[in-house]
Structure 1
């Protein structure tokens, strides 16, 4: 009998899962991919501004982690990987640009001097004397990053150094993010008995991290990866088809689709990979996996929006600008100066491309596209003028909304997700940004693990 597998979700997690299922189950397996959007890709989205394509979802991946690097190589895209240039981002605080603290661990400074003039003398003294104060740490404690850093280094360091770094990754502030979730290596060092936060940060930073660039991107944007995965998976990709639920009679799985039911046979699957946002997975699995569904549905979403710009004139000589969370003069939370950051996007004929982002956990983006562009344009003018430049002349702009873009990685999130996944019945697996990290490598890793789990289940049936 022909093996039938369903993949719910057409983002990088679902497409990677479909590719691996094809590789593991062979040419005869029937693989359906259900994608609610009009085209596959999910957060690997791009927009065209002034005739140029720019990623407006995920932008880069960590090349020192194997997941994305290995997948890109398998698909024959190794030559398409590009590295950022040597420019560094700046932090916007108190109406001006400051160098990003370095050395630092996700914004947690290794020394007081790393903070430069982001803090005043009294705030700097707290950091300088931190190792002289007794450290009260409970092994295995689930605390937030903000709680730890504020206690040891002060709230100013959280707002002006840690929040800007973590906000770009998780669309949330440090006080809302679990330490074990966001910086697991630091939690491990503290569990091992580090005498202070200063010592713990130094320990983590002293460990070898490999040679070469930390981040990479694809010359043609993430659309290149999406197209390669679709081709390699050789699956039936059903776009514009939403899924309402997953059901089972104990021997096979049925997928209830909300549209196009007349042209999709969505029943009798041997296995199902659910690769949609974690809260959506909770709704879909309510009947077949109630304990896991409850845990998945309880995860909050952090919405945001990205505004892509093509502008005339020079831009600040940084790779980007991260906005301190106590800076009340800007609406945006970050700027990626793409033409400065990525050599392959370098300005031509005086035209540059850049991205501005807005929104975070608890602060959904409700303004119209026109208002978002106007607010971001005004903020760009403020930042550019502070850098000694004229306000940029906008040639074109486009808005990409992510109303439920990223899952909230609060304290205890990882352990809750691990426990929930352990209750899934045989033949079901989940993948995506809600389980072991929000980045593209983490999504790829969960997809490959899920595909392996399902292939093992199917092979045991035959």
Structure 2
């Protein structure tokens, strides 16, 4: 008799879990349940000016293997694409500076590479790193960098990069979880700049030398969940959207999953369950069956954000002279970053030569008030900030789209890994996966989903 498995949550983690089960366990009967109207989570294509374009995550880290391996398994190798050579920049004191090379989450290997972006006094402070003893416990990234290299490095280099990943604040995010190589250096009494230098040398001459750092798919990364859904359905996986799971309870050596509207709840029994939802709904579902894990997940905070995508008529204007820019929170701007999508992605420029797409991101952790504006106001705010940075010559958009991601990114607070220890001690036949645990990037989520799938069939 086939083993039945429910995957609750249809983001990339849940999709990866279902894919792993369908490939490695052909005798599994897999059902994926997603509460919204589509699978994919933060991977999404929407129509902007007549073109379907990414309005969520747009790339994967190519130096981790999980996403590229999945592309290969899906037969998408010929669609894999990489960014152009156009460089990014950081806004500092009202102007753009080239993104320094050879950094680890903003920590530079060479102080001279950031002169100008930092003042002479700030560069001098950076050059004289303070080794203030060995860190025994987890600390925030910002506190570590403040003490070692000075607050300017945190404010103007680390903050904008961490905001791009977590939409959070450097002085609150766990070094152990977000930048483990820096946390290890602190524990071992090593200089942070030595770690950055070693990473730069490895990038230039190591096994990954010359290989692109990021990758995407021609047609947009948001096409991945659509492809996965088709392949899963073809392989016999049942995918049900608009299906809210309301309760999870133990039933002998199996599980009962209750879903649907309160007036017509459906109770289904499964041999195993992969829970691939964000922390809050996972906490609610685990309240009775794994109370320790439930309490741990209830404490995870999330950041909300929005992506404003603009479509300009014609090819890219000259003022779009790079792939985009990052904005430290020290700058008097609302947006935290902008990507010049048409410049960054050659496939997009080739497919739509008479359109130029760019986007701006808005929102950091606990700054939800920024997002409490109508879409048209967010578009105006983004345009104002873009013109402040790039120049008043930036033309009005021919079309615009606002994608809101409420509670989109988990915050890895100091002590995150230790705090989540109860989530690794679950009843047999139950596993968790997703961005709340061991990485928010697409490859990390794919790895998390596949590991959860293996766990429920081997325990």
CA-to-aligned-CA distance 1:275-321 (integer Å, 9 cap, x gap): 11122211111111111111011100011111111013514211111
CA-to-aligned-CA distance 1:435-458 (integer Å, 9 cap, x gap): 10000000000100000011213x
8 Å CA contact 1:164–1:325 kept in 2: the answer is yes
Match of 1:232 in 2: 231
Give the Å deviation of 1:324.
1.4
Match of 2:111 in 1: 112
8 Å CA contact 1:271–1:428 kept in 2: the answer is yes
8 Å CA contact 2:167–2:303 kept in 1: the answer is yes
1:331 is aligned to 2:326: no
Aligned-partner Cα distance in 2 for 1:384–1:193: 42
Aligned-partner Cα distance in 1 for 2:46–2:452: 30
Aligned-partner Cα distance in 1 for 2:184–2:139: 13
Q: Which residue of 390, 400, 403 maps to 2:406? A: 403
Report the TM-score when normalising by structure 2.
Answer: 0.93
Match of 1:135 in 2: 132
Aligned-partner Cα distance in 2 for 1:293–1:368: 35
Match of 2:303 in 1: 302
Q: Moved runs in structure 1, 4+ residues, more than 4 A?
A: 347-350
The number of residues matched between the two structures is: 446
8 Å CA contact 1:243–1:258 kept in 2: the answer is yes
Structure 1 gap segments, 5+ residues each? 458-462
Within-5 A mapping of 1:447-462: 447-457=449-459
Structure 2 gap segments, 5+ residues each? none
Give the Å deviation of 1:266.
4.1
Change (3 A) 1:443 1:349: closer
8 Å CA contact 1:185–1:204 kept in 2: the answer is no
Within-5 A mapping of 1:388-427: 390-417=393-420, 419-427=421-429
Give the Å deviation of 1:146.
0.5
Aligned-partner Cα distance in 2 for 1:398–1:350: 18
Match of 1:460 in 2: none
- SS of equivalent residue, structure 2 residue 269: coil
Give the Å deviation of 1:260.
8.6
1:156 is aligned to 2:152: yes
- SS of equivalent residue, structure 2 residue 14: helix
Aligned-partner Cα distance in 1 for 2:261–2:294: 23
Report the TM-score when normalising by structure 1.
Answer: 0.92
Aligned-partner Cα distance in 2 for 1:171–1:363: 10
Q: Which residue of 384, 392, 401 maps to 1:378? A: 384
- SS of equivalent residue, structure 1 residue 415: helix
Match of 2:17 in 1: 17
